[in-house]
Structure 1
Amino acid sequence: MANTEKGSIYNSIGKMNLRTKTLLTIGITVFILIAVVISSLLINSTDITTNFQAMNQAPSLEHLFGTDWMGRDMFTRTLKGLGLSVQIGAGASILSSLIAIAMAFIASTNKFLDGVVSWLIDLFLSIPHILLIILISIALGGGAFGVTMGVAVTHWTSLARVLRAEIKQINTSEFVKLSNRFGKSKFWIARKHIFPLVITQIIVGTILIFPHAIMHEASVTFLGFGLSPHEPAIGIILSESMKYLATGNWWLALFPGLALLIIVLLFDIAGENIKKILDPTSANE
């Protein structure tokens, strides 16, 4: 009996430690991401000044990421570019999630609309994201707005598919059937019954869209179809650095690329850990 009680105590402590570690991981990743965004907002364009006497300097204590061919500090440019990428990723992720939510609820209305939404999901999944983002960005005049809309329009499909399946399952439940018998409207059912049950998928799905949005924004900008060359975006920094790698200026591409990779991984880690907290089944694993 005593051994059983001890075992239950140890299991409880283990679960508490796992939950604490998960919350700590979320806190650290969110703090780093917020610090990057705030730091980038505090950097003015005038802070990224040219200094031809310090051009093409290797990383040092004075310039942690070195300097470029115009003597600009690469650490400052990278930080500014990361903040811009996170802002675009945030806007694109939220818009993409709103599209996914709308499509999933439209699909639950009737079989005809469900077929239309299913066809749209298959259509968007059949077109390469990069190509569609480039076309939408060009059509909207490029810049941050064009890239944000391009990423948003192309990244809603996966979340919409998950929400569509969840809503279909919820609609077959007894409490939804009872609400229909009592004459409740579809909007009332969606607000009271369906939305509270899918909010976890929406939050996690939105966070997990972030890494894809940031990477696609950087890719499109790298190819020259995204942000303006005057913007200190990571894609532009990497694109410009290609001209100077042959001369041995390896730091121009290495540090911005690593910084972008770390930001993407932080979003992925935050999303997975938030899923553990919000989803009871994964939280008890």
Structure 2
Amino acid sequence: MKHVISGNRARYPRFHAGHKLGLTSLAAFLVLLTIFAMSVWMDASGLSTNLAQRNFAPSAAHPFGTDWLGRDMLTRTIKGLALSLGVGVVAGASSVIIAGIMGLSAAVMGKTVNRLVSWLTDLFLSVPHLVTLLLIAFVLGGGAKGIIIGVALTHWPSLTRVIRAEVMQIRSASYVSISRNFGKSSWWIATRHIIPHLLPQLLVGLILIVPHAILHEAAVTFIGMGLSPHEPAIGIILSESMRYLSSGMWWLALFPGLCLLLLVRAFAMLGENLKMWVDPRRAHEH
């Protein structure tokens, strides 16, 4: 019986790998859907000050406890995650658009543009993301606008390299040469052959950039250069909770931090699984 099971696993390795990828992707998607649904369903009254119930430890009425102003920490955490998720998606989408334009330009607009894009890519990759993001956010005065622009301008280089290599490979394909011999224009070839092939790469790039954007938004907000202190952002919640940890109010930082980690990990798992499905070379490895 053991040999039969081993033989089945050897004969159907990709089935087991695909089943595992499907389950992890479903779990990650359910986590993201739950956070989004809870943020829409929850009443914002938990964000209001209520001094009669301040500093409550976690309980059935307040699963994440309350803070020093009596605000419900579960409500603040979910609303903060939704805010971080929105900023991350907008910033990630902006970064993907920049990467797509840069990659296409480098591949189809000649050697001069290719060298310029390569130089810019190497320049941005030579400086840590967070340092450049801090400088951009500081120049733009912080806030959601500064975070979004900062993330968009710092997270495009790696994806640009992938897009450029993909476009170069598609341009040398036989079906593109046939279309060109039939007199099809460059615009026709781009819209019919190149861009449709790039959409899966751009989608995977977006999902992989979003968790980086969320973490960087939380980090910049944590040090006071990101979102406004009046907004229930995770970075603000964690920054404020540092002053109360010595008083034994451990729940102020523990639950928001764990939820932020869960959100980022769900996005990362979903992106890695989609990457394996999209990339045929990775698919043959499983």
What TM-score, normalized to structure 1?
0.89
2:162 aligns to what? 162
Give runs of aligned pairs for residues 2-151 of structure 1, distance below 5 A.
15-108=14-107, 109-151=109-151
Q: Deviations over 1:234-268 (max 9, x none)?
A: 00001111111122222211111111111111111
Q: Deviations over 1:114-149 (max 9, x none)?
A: 111111111222233223223333444432222112
Do 2:170 and 2:194's aligned partners in 1 also have CA atoms closer than 8 Å?
Answer: yes
Unmatched tracts of structure 2, length 5 or more: none
- How far the C-alpha of 1:10 sits from its partner, in A, is 6.1
Paired with 2:134 and 2:70, the residues of 1 have a C-alpha distance of: 31
1:277 aligns to what? 277
- Between the two proteins, the alignment pairs up a number of residues equal to 281
Unmatched tracts of structure 1, length 5 or more: 1-5
- How far the C-alpha of 1:66 sits from its partner, in A, is 1.6
Matched AA of 1:20 = H
Matched AA of 1:175 = Y
Do 2:28 and 2:270's aligned partners in 1 also have CA atoms closer than 8 Å?
Answer: yes
Do 1:67 and 1:73's aligned partners in 2 also have CA atoms closer than 8 Å?
Answer: yes
Q: Deviations over 1:201-230 (max 9, x none)?
A: 222111111110100000110111110000
Paired with 1:60 and 1:44, the residues of 2 have a C-alpha distance of: 18
Structure 2 residue 220 is matched with structure 1 residue 220: yes
Matched AA of 1:131 = V
Aligned CA RMSD, in angstroms, stands at 2.3
Paired with 2:28 and 2:92, the residues of 1 have a C-alpha distance of: 18
Paired with 1:82 and 1:283, the residues of 2 have a C-alpha distance of: 33
What TM-score, normalized to structure 2?
0.89
Paired with 2:6 and 2:27, the residues of 1 have a C-alpha distance of: 31
Paired with 1:200 and 1:185, the residues of 2 have a C-alpha distance of: 24
Paired with 1:230 and 1:78, the residues of 2 have a C-alpha distance of: 14
Do 2:46 and 2:76's aligned partners in 1 also have CA atoms closer than 8 Å?
Answer: no
Of 133-142 and 65-74, more deviation after overlay is shown by 133-142
Do 1:86 and 1:214's aligned partners in 2 also have CA atoms closer than 8 Å?
Answer: yes
- How far the C-alpha of 1:33 sits from its partner, in A, is 0.4
Paired with 1:64 and 1:55, the residues of 2 have a C-alpha distance of: 14
Q: Summarize the Cα distance change of 1:256–1:166 in structure 2 as closer, same or farther, 3 Å threshold.
A: same
SS in 1 for 2:69: coil
1:177 aligns to what? 177
Of 110-119 and 42-51, more deviation after overlay is shown by 42-51
- How far the C-alpha of 1:14 sits from its partner, in A, is 5.2
- How far the C-alpha of 1:17 sits from its partner, in A, is 4.2
Do 1:92 and 1:148's aligned partners in 2 also have CA atoms closer than 8 Å?
Answer: yes
Paired with 2:222 and 2:268, the residues of 1 have a C-alpha distance of: 22
Of 127-136 and 60-69, more deviation after overlay is shown by 127-136
Identity among equivalent positions (%) equals 50
Paired with 2:206 and 2:60, the residues of 1 have a C-alpha distance of: 38
Do 1:200 and 1:278's aligned partners in 2 also have CA atoms closer than 8 Å?
Answer: yes
2:197 aligns to what? 197
Matched AA of 1:58 = A
Of 204-213 and 181-190, more deviation after overlay is shown by 181-190
Q: Deviations over 1:138-181 (max 9, x none)?
A: 44443222211211111111101111122222223333334334
Matched AA of 1:278 = V
Do 1:40 and 1:84's aligned partners in 2 also have CA atoms closer than 8 Å?
Answer: no
Q: Summarize the Cα distance change of 1:135–1:17 in structure 2 as closer, same or farther, 3 Å threshold.
A: same
Q: Deviations over 1:36-90 (max 9, x none)?
A: 1232133454331222232222222222222111111111111110111111111
Paired with 2:135 and 2:36, the residues of 1 have a C-alpha distance of: 28
2:245 aligns to what? 245
